[in-house]
Every structure is written in structure tokens, then in C-alpha cells.
């Protein structure tokens, strides 16, 4: 007998036991800054950032079917725009544009979304592998431009970001940023769930399965691609802005590094692409592998991690979510006799 049961087409998120587990997980996360060390709190915060990146990338790639390799550009631009607003003097901007951290973080996310809105109609002229290569090239160009503009970004050296959201001695700045990141992660998950379970999500799935067939039925592919691209970029920028103001340091070489895109892709592959809970499971597994393997195998951690990812792709193409669904979830089919 399976641990959970659901009807065909029904989401596990509607199960009260799943909702209860989600609430317990959130309550545990709230206690993290008070019950663990600063380093472990930072590790969990990184995991929350991974969830935001994975969920947002999965919306574009897993649901809309657009494999983007430029996710890091929106993560980095969200971090830089918000940093320019909280620390304008470091980038040569007048002090009059300075904003508190929370509004600056929101503006950074909006800036990433606006970049996606502007370049989307152009980049979506490409499709398939060409779209993936185009987004990778776009991210590389943005990184090179930001590295070259030392007056705005500090170049390879970067600069420290001003910000202090500490509440007395009990709650430090890092703790406050942890809670803000937790709230942002919950909002990312909830909003994405509402999108994929609504009419917009159906449109995305239609162009993912067969763009030509969807178009012949009146679905506008560009509309749904743009929707996924802009929303995905917004959440990536929000993650970057929050992470930058947690570390209080940004650097064009690391903040815009392609590794953020690779991490997002790996998280979704490990968890299960095109599934709602996949990126959440994948983030937890990736965080465990990324840090646990270093303690076990030392310098061979990257090689072992790569081998494990390859094995996942070969033997678990549906990811961790598929494995959980196979062994813990049972679909119940209500027959006519049972209804009578």
C-alpha cells in the first residue's frame, strides 16, 4: 500500500498530508537561525536560493519547453541593480537614488524581468538548440560588459554592499535576510504553482508538447514563452538580489558566473523536469551532494558528483520526484461501480 493516494490528474499539493509536511518544513526553517550556527544558516539560505533558481528555470524549461542557458545573467543583474540602489556611491551614482534593502531587492527583480521583456521577442526568433546557445551567448556578453565596466561593477574585484537589517543583538543582518529569502521562496513556489495549475500553465504545456499543433488550435506560442521567460527572470533576479544582500559583496565574475545556470539545470534534472515538486527535492539533494561529498571524498567530490548526475539522467530520467511518485504514491481510479 502506498503512503499517499491521488486521483489521475490530481496534484499531490492538494493532499492534506503533503500540505502538513510543507507547513512543518516551513516551521523548521523558521527556527534555523535560532538553533544552528551562522555557517549552517548560510548553507540553508543557499538551499532556498537554489529552490528559487530551480523553480524559476523549471517554469521556462520544464513547462514551456524553452531550455535557457542564460539564467545566471538574470540572477546577476538582479544582484547588481539592487546593489546599485543600496550602495550607489560604489557605482558612481548620486546618493539621491539610494533605497532601503527591501525596495531595492524588488526593483532588482523587476529590472531582470524588464531585461527579459526587451530581449524576449528577439531571442525567441531562435528555437531548440539555437535558443539555448543564444541565451548562453547573451549571458556571456552581459558578463563581459559588466566586467569591463569597472566604474559600475568594480570589475573582477567587485565591491562591498551596504546594508544592515539587524534587529538588536538577537537577530543579525544575516538572520533577517534568511527570513526574507524564506518568504521570497514561499512566494516563488506558491505563485509558480498557481501559474502551472491555471490556464497559463496549460498554454505552456501545449507549446512544450507540440508548438505547431498548439498554434493551429489558437494558442499563441510567443505569448506563453514570453510569460514564462519574464516570470522566470523575475524570480531569478529576486534570488540574486537577496543573495547579494546576504553576502554583502558582489563580483561580476562570480555573481554572473555560468555556474548559477548549471546549478539550476542540475537541480531540475535531479528533482525531475516538468514537475512542480521536482526542483524542491532537487535543491535538497544537490545541496547534500555538493557539501556532503566534499567531506567524504575531498578533492574528488566534483568528479563523483558528475558521475552521480550522469547516473540520474540514465536510470532516473524523471528525477527524484519520479522515484518518490513510483514507490510512495498510488493513483486511485474510481470506477462506475464504486460510484454506484
d(CA 113, CA 76): 12
Choose among 257, 258, 206: nearest CA to 227: 206
Count Cβ atoms within 10 A of the Cβ of residue 178 and give its class: 0-12 exposed, 13-18 middle, 19 or more buried.
Answer: buried
pLDDT of residue 321: 84
Low-confidence ranges of the chain (pLDDT < 50): 1, 333-340
Choose among 291, 253, 245: nearest CA to 47: 291
d(CA 103, CA 117): 21
Give the global pTM: 0.90
Instruction: Report whether 113 contacts 234 (CB < 8 A).
Output: yes
d(CA 140, CA 143): 5
pLDDT of residue 311: 86
pLDDT of residue 128: 86
Q: Is 10 helix (H, G, I), strand (E, B) or coil?
A: coil
Strands 249-250 and 159-160 turn out to be antiparallel
Count Cβ atoms within 10 A of the Cβ of residue 231 and give its class: 0-12 exposed, 13-18 middle, 19 or more buried.
Answer: buried
pLDDT of residue 22: 83
Distances (CA, A) of 275 to 70, 196, 237, 311: 21, 10, 22, 19
Amino acid at each position: 500500500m502506498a503512503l499517499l493516494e491521488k486521483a489521475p490528474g490530481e496534484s499531490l499539493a492538494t493532499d492534506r498530508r503533503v500540505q502538513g509536511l510543507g507547513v512543518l518544513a516551513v516551521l523548521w526553517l523558521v527556527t534555523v537561525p535560532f538553533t544552528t550556527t551562522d555557517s549552517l544558516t548560510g548553507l540553508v539560505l543557499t538551499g532556498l536560493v537554489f529552490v528559487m533558481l530551480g523553480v524559476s528555470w523549471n517554469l521556462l524549461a520544464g513547462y514551456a519547453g524553452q531550455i535557457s542557458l542564460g539564467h545566471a545573467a538574470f540572477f546577476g543583474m538582479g544582484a547588481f541593480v539592487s546593489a546599485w540602489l543600496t550602495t550607489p556611491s560604489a557605482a558612481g551614482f548620486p546618493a539621491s537614488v539610494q533605497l532601503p534593502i527591501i525596495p531595492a531587492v524588488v526593483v532588482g527583480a523587476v529590472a531582470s524581468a524588464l531585461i527579459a521583456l526587451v530581449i524576449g521577442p528577439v531571442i525567441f526568433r531562435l528555437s531548440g538548440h539555437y535558443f539555448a546557445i543564444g541565451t548562453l551567448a547573451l549571458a556571456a556578453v552581459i558578463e563581459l560588459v559588466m566586467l569591463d565596466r569597472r566604474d559600475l561593477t568594480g570589475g573582477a574585484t567587485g565591491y562591498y554592499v551596504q546594508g544592515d537589517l539587524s534587529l538588536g543583538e538577537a537577530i543579525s543582518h544575516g538572520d533577517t535576510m534568511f527570513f526574507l529569502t524564506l518568504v521570497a521562496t514561499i512566494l516563488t513556489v506558491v505563485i509558480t504553482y498557481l501559474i502551472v495549475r491555471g490556464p497559463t500553465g496549460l498554454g505552456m504545456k501545449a507549446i512544450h508538447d507540440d508548438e505547431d499543433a498548439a498554434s493551429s488550435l489558437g494558442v499563441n506560442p510567443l505569448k506563453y514563452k514570453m510569460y514564462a521567460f519574464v516570470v522566470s527572470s523575475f524570480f531569478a533576479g529576486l534570488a540574486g538580489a537577496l543573495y547579494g544582500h546576504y553576502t554583502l559583496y558582489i563580483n561580476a565574475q562570480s555573481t554572473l558566473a555560468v555556474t548559477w545556470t548549471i546549478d539550476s539545470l542540475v537541480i531540475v534534472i535531479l528533482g525531475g523536469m516538468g514537475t512542480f515538486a521536482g526542483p524542491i527535492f532537487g535543491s535538497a539533494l544537490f545541496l547534500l551532494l555538493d557539501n556532503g561529498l566534499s567531506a567524504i571524498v575531498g578533492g574528488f567530490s566534483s568528479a563523483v558528483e558528475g558521475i552521480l548526475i550522469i547516473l540520474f539522467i540514465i536510470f532516473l530520467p524523471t528525477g527524484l520526484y519520479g522515484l518518490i511518485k513510483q514507490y510512495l504514491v498510488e493513483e486511485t481510479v474510481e470506477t462506475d461501480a464504486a460510484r454506484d
